[in-house]
């Protein structure tokens, strides 16, 4: 694990599956993770689509937007690999047996995301309403097991270590699961009942993973900066906050989605003029979050 300094290069490292930046400010029971901003594409990916199309799956730059988290006492984690290779925000059994070449050794439990082609191993990329298959053949059992062993498990292990360390030290933890969302998300989801997409979507799995006052604090801060905010629409949160968030045990977990055009060009993936202002707003938000966490009574 490495310690992030203010001017560190936050480009992903292909030699490690997850990077961890420890607090540079007084440590707090605050953990932030970006599971989908990785841009180091493994050589054995074997995708059959152009890179420009494949990159539509990235939450590009998200860990950079939240780079000041360690200065506010948080631990910050980021996956270096892309979610289209293996999605750590899915269960390791969220697979369709039909997408695997061979017999999987344990029972599988494909969920709604797999049925959409967006499970543990993505099956297609959508652009302009058209789904393009990611692969020209099925992945073998060995190939999928390799991705789980060398990417999915290390990410979950590092995140769980950070969560457990906070609970041991402070008796509690607040977890921010950090993402970005495409402007055409409703079309990708096949929904025709789409309301206007908010600038930020906060997901707490319908009030089950986080204290309501914490969600309210973040929503009101973001609205104060001039952003529109929605709760659980269209994203409620998936595997990570569902696993971590246990408010009755003082383990609070919230997913935060940012509408991508606010900070980057969706086609080129390059930061736009909104990147620096958004980064500054998120730094101010983190200061408010840190103050809230410090004010919580000890366990």
Tokens standing for residue 17: 């599956």
Query: What is the overall mean pLDDT for the chain?
Result: 93
Please, are residues 20 and 163 in contact by the beta-carbon 8 Å criterion? no
Per-residue confidence (pLDDT) for residue 195, from 0 to 100: 81
Highest mean pLDDT among 7-11, 115-119, 221-225 belongs to: 221-225
- Tens-digit pLDDT profile for residues 230-288: 999 999 999 999 999 999 999 999 999 999 999 999 999 999 999 999 999 999 999 99
At residue 178's C-alpha, the angle toward residues 212 and 191, to 5°, is: 85
- 7: Cβ–Cβ under 8 A, 6 or more apart, which residues? none
pLDDT of residue 3 exceeding 90: no
pTM of the predicted protein model: 0.94
Give the DSSP letter string of 36-68: S------TT----S-HHHHGGG--TTHHHHTTT
68 or 9, which is more confident?
Answer: 68
Domains annotated on the chain, with CATH? 18-83+140-295 (3.40.630.40)
Return d(Cα 253, Cα 84) in angstroms, integer. Answer: 24
Per-residue confidence (pLDDT) for residue 192, from 0 to 100: 76
**Is 295 exposed, middle or buried, given 0-12, 13-18 or 19+ CB atoms closer than 10 A?**
exposed
Per-residue confidence (pLDDT) for residue 273, from 0 to 100: 98
Return d(Cα 276, Cα 247) in angstroms, integer. Answer: 33
- Determine the straight-line distance between the first and last CA of the chain, rounded to whole angstroms: 28
Per-residue confidence (pLDDT) for residue 11, from 0 to 100: 55
pLDDT of residue 129 exceeding 50: yes
Per-residue confidence (pLDDT) for residue 184, from 0 to 100: 86
Per-residue confidence (pLDDT) for residue 15, from 0 to 100: 76
As beta bridge partners, residue 18 has 79
- Helix intervals (H) in the chain: 51-54, 62-65, 112-115, 141-147, 153-170, 185-188, 212-224, 239-244, 275-295
């Amino acid at each position: 694990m490495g310690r992030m300094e203010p001017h560190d290069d936050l480009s992903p490292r292909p030699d490690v599956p997850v990077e961890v930046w420890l607090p540079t400010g007084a440590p707090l029971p605050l953990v932030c993770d970006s599971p989908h901003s990785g841009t180091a594409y493994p050589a054995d990916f074997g995708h059959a689509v152009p890179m420009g199309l494949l990159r539509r799956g990235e939450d590009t730059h998200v860990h950079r937007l939240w780079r000041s988290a360690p200065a506010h006492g948080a631990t910050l984690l980021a996956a270096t690999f892309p979610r289209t290779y293996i999605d750590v925000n899915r269960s390791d059994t969220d697979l369709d047996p039909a997408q695997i070449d061979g017999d999987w050794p344990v029972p599988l439990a494909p969920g709604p995301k797999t049925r959409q082609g967006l499970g543990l191993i993505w099956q297609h990329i959508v652009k302009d309403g058209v789904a393009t298959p990611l692969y020209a053949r099925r992945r073998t059992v060995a190939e999928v097991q390799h991705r789980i062993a060398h990417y999915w498990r290390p990410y979950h292990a590092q995140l769980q270590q950070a969560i457990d360390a906070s609970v041991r030290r402070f008796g509690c933890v607040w977890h921010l699961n950090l993402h970005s969302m495409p402007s055409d998300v409703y079309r990708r989801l096949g929904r025709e009942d789409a309301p206007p997409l908010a600038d930020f979507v906060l997901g707490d799995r319908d009030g089950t993973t986080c204290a309501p006052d914490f969600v309210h604090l973040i929503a009101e801060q973001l609205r104060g900066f001039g952003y529109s905010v929605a709760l659980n629409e269209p994203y409620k949160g998936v595997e990570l906050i569902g696993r971590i968030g246990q408010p009755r045990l003082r383990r609070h977990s919230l997913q935060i989605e940012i509408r991508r055009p606010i900070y980057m060009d969706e086609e080129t993936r390059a930061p736009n003029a909104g990147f620096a202002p958004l980064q500054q707003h998120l730094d101010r938000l983190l200061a408010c979050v840190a103050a809230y966490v410090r004010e919580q009574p000890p366990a």
